[in-house]
Amino acid sequence: MTPAATDYIRHNLQKFERSIDDTAEHFSEPGDPGPGFASAPYFEKCLVLTQLDSFEGSESDYAALVKEYHRITQRLDTFNKEKGKEFRDRLFSDLQTFTHRYHAAVCHVYLGQIKPDDACDISRRDLIGELCRELKGDYDIPGIEALITMLDDNLSGDGGPLPECIKEFKGARFPDSNLSHSDREYPFTEKKTGSAHSE
C-alpha cells in the first residue's frame, strides 16, 4: 500500500472523528434531523473498517492506524453512553429505515430494474450490520438479522458471490490491536474485548 493510501485512511479517520463532533453538536437541536443523523458516525466507522480490512502496508503503519481507530471508537462509545436511550432509539430508527430501504433495493435488483452496485441503499449493508451489532440485546435485532440474511441470499441469486458492497453477517472485519493484520479473523455479530468494538 502506498503512503498516499495510508494518508487516505488517516483522512477518513479524521472524518470519522468529526462526524462524532457534528452529531454531538446537532443532537440537542429541536426538530427531527431525519434518517441517518444519529448513525452518521457509524457510517464513517464502516468506511474505515473496510479500508483497514484491505490494508497491505507495514505492520507498524497498521498498528498506528488501528490505535487511532480504537481511540475514536472509544469516543463514540462514550458519546453513546452519555446520550443514553434517546440516542440509541434514534440509532434503532435509522436501522429500521435502512433495513426497509435495503429490502426495497434488493427487490428492485431481483426484478432487474437496477444493478446491485448501482444501488446506494445496498451500499449501506455494512452500516446495517454495524447497527445490529451495536444494538443487539436492547432491541428486536434477531428479526432484522433474519430478514437481512434472507435478502442477502436473494441478492446472490443462483448462489453466486454477493456484490462487492455486500458483507455477510459472518464476515470478518474487527481490527484487533493484539493481532497482526495478516492474521485477522473476527466474528461479525460479536463484540470482542480489545477489538474494534469496545465492551
Q: Is the predicted pLDDT of residue 150 greater than 60, yes or no?
A: yes
pLDDT tens digit string along 22-50? Answer: 998 887 665 566 657 899 999 999 999 98
104-107 contacts: CB < 8 A, separation 24 or more? 106/151, 106/154, 106/155
pLDDT tier at 185 (50, 70, 90 boundaries)?
A: very low
Q: Is the pLDDT of residue 183 over 70?
A: no
Query: Residue 4: pLDDT above 90?
Result: no
pLDDT value at 191 more than 70? no
Cβ atoms of residues 139 and 92 within 8 Å: yes
Q: Which among 165, 177, 176, 172 is positioned nearest to 189, based on CA atoms?
A: 172
pLDDT digits (tens, 9 = 90+) for 39-89: 999 999 999 998 888 888 788 888 999 999 999 999 999 999 999 999 999
Give the Cβ contact number of residue 106 at 10 Å: 23
Residue pair 176/186 in contact (Cβ under 8 Å)? The answer is: yes
Mean pLDDT score, 123-137 = 88
Q: How many CB atoms lie within 10 A of CB 130?
A: 24
Q: Which residue has the higher pLDDT, 117 or 140?
A: 140
Q: How many alpha carbons lie under 13 Å from residue 90 in its C-beta half-sphere?
A: 20
Residue pair 16/55 in contact by the 8 Å Cβ criterion: no
Give the pLDDT band (50/70/90) at residue 189. very low
- Residue (of 130, 142, 148, 143) closest to 94 by Cα position: 130
Whether pLDDT at 157 is above 80: no
Q: Which residues contact 46 (CB under 8 A, 6 or more apart)?
A: 126, 127, 130
122 pLDDT band, cuts 50/70/90, is: low
pLDDT at 165 over 50: no
% of the chain beyond a pLDDT of 90: 35
Cα–Cα distance, 77 to 161 (Å, whole number): 34
Rounded-to-10 torsion of CA 3, 46, 189, 134: 130
Grid cell for residue 179? 493481532
**What is the predicted pLDDT for the residue at 195?**
39
